[in-house]
Amino acid sequence: MPAQKNILLLGSGFVAEPCLEYLQRSGNNHVTIACRGIEKAQELASKYQNASAIALDVENDTALEGAVAAHDLTISLIPYTQHARVMKAAIKTRKHVVTTSYISPAMQELDAAAKEAGIICMNEIGLDPGIDHLYALKIINEVHDQGGKILSFESFCGGLPAPEASNNPLGYKFSWSARGVLLALRNNARYWQDGKLVEIEGKDLMDSARPIFIYPAFALVGYGNRDSSHYRERYNIPHAETCVRGSMRYQGFPEFAKTLVNMGFLDDSPRESLSADAAGDLAWNKVSQQLLGHSSDSPDELLKLIEAKIETQDPEIRKRIIHGIKWLGITSPDVKAAKRGTYLDVLCARLEELMMYGEGERDMIILQHKFEVENKDGSRNTRTSVTLMYGEPNGFSAMAKTVGVPCGIATQLILDGKLTATGVVAPMTPDIYQPIMDLLSSEGINAVENTY
């Protein structure tokens, strides 16, 4: 029987368990779950036979190095800002690392040292980034191998409620904190469109949303996700006049989100009136009155002001937004606001009260790559690749599974000696992405391709 492999898993968040469950199947792996507070790690470890828990502060370099040294491989599912610290410990102790995050400049700087140490620092192996790379590069390399060119590449991914669970005015729900989702609305976008470099400021991001047609059953819209302009080089598609990677939401979300932005709810500067120390209860109409700088806290007056902030002229969407504002209760004197210190965090608390997944509700992930291809003989066609998955009611969410399982697969392949490219790497070459794709299909994670 092969010798036991010891894996250090940093973090116990929602993607950790599908990763842990996958790694338990070999029978030769022992996983140590490490968190700053041991309780969550113990709770997760108690569900599996070959798992244990430790308390670990990753900002304590001595403790981190000791924990990394005691294991064959470390999986880092903690905030991405800590990955470079984990990699430094791994380099020092000559142990492998796996993360699901984008390679940051601080991580890339460690490439030469990782190669010298002979270790693999595998990154970008979740959903987005991760699965998106695998199925995009599969088609790109097929086209190139057949002498063709990619003239246009569009990739949009959405983590959404399943249609039957999209039962609120935003058509969106949260598995965890709403803060990250709202802060993403401030991100700039940069991409190639018809040979021109498009740059969109965060304040205009929601205005750039456009319909994304995948299946007639879904009313989806998409908008650019940060800077995807460099993917022409990263994916080796220099002839692509359009190159964009973006996020998807259900129709109506951008207009509603833009109204909240226009009201000022993305302001994360501390406000004394919103602090936990402020005296007395805080009604939501008072919060909106302060935010809008109005003399009256009348719900009707506040609704008129908010209506003026709605930019779309579509009458149905305008009605939906007003209904949504009333549903949120943010003009009501009868709904108490959580005193979280900033307008952003007060809104987050309200969204989390109303928009978390309920018992038995499913989430959904949908990812589409769309390519315009010029073939070797000069003919042209369109190729698409669609990944669609639903979560299991009261089980793993689709998002958790499509992030955690690829991470687990990459980890196992490294431990088995089947992935060998050293340095700070991502699944960008067939020797890395093909073995992962082969195993993903047996987990029910795949892509449906079409050419027309």
- Catalytic residue set: 128
3-state secondary structure 369-409: EEEEEECCCCCEEEEEEEEEEECCCCCCCHHHHHHHHHHHH
Distance separating alpha carbons of residues 254 and 248, to the nearest angstrom? 10
**Angle (deg, nearest 10), helices 284-292 and 343-354:** 140
Q: 181 near 410, Cβ under 8 Å?
A: no
Q: Count of CB atoms within 10 A of residue 340's CB?
A: 18
Pull the structure tokens for residue 310: 């709605």
Distance separating alpha carbons of residues 421 and 212, to the nearest angstrom? 37
Return the residue matching tokens 């088995």.
Answer: 416
Pull the structure tokens for residue 65: 């190095």
Distance of CA 85 to the CA centre of its chain: 22
Q: 247 near 225, Cβ under 8 Å?
A: yes
Distance separating alpha carbons of residues 265 and 272, to the nearest angstrom? 16
CA nearest neighbour of 9 among 80, 91, 84, 72: 72
Contacting residues for 277 by C-beta, under 8 A, at least 6 apart? none
Distance separating alpha carbons of residues 373 and 99, to the nearest angstrom? 33
Alpha helices in 293-367 (DSSP H): 299-309, 315-328, 343-354
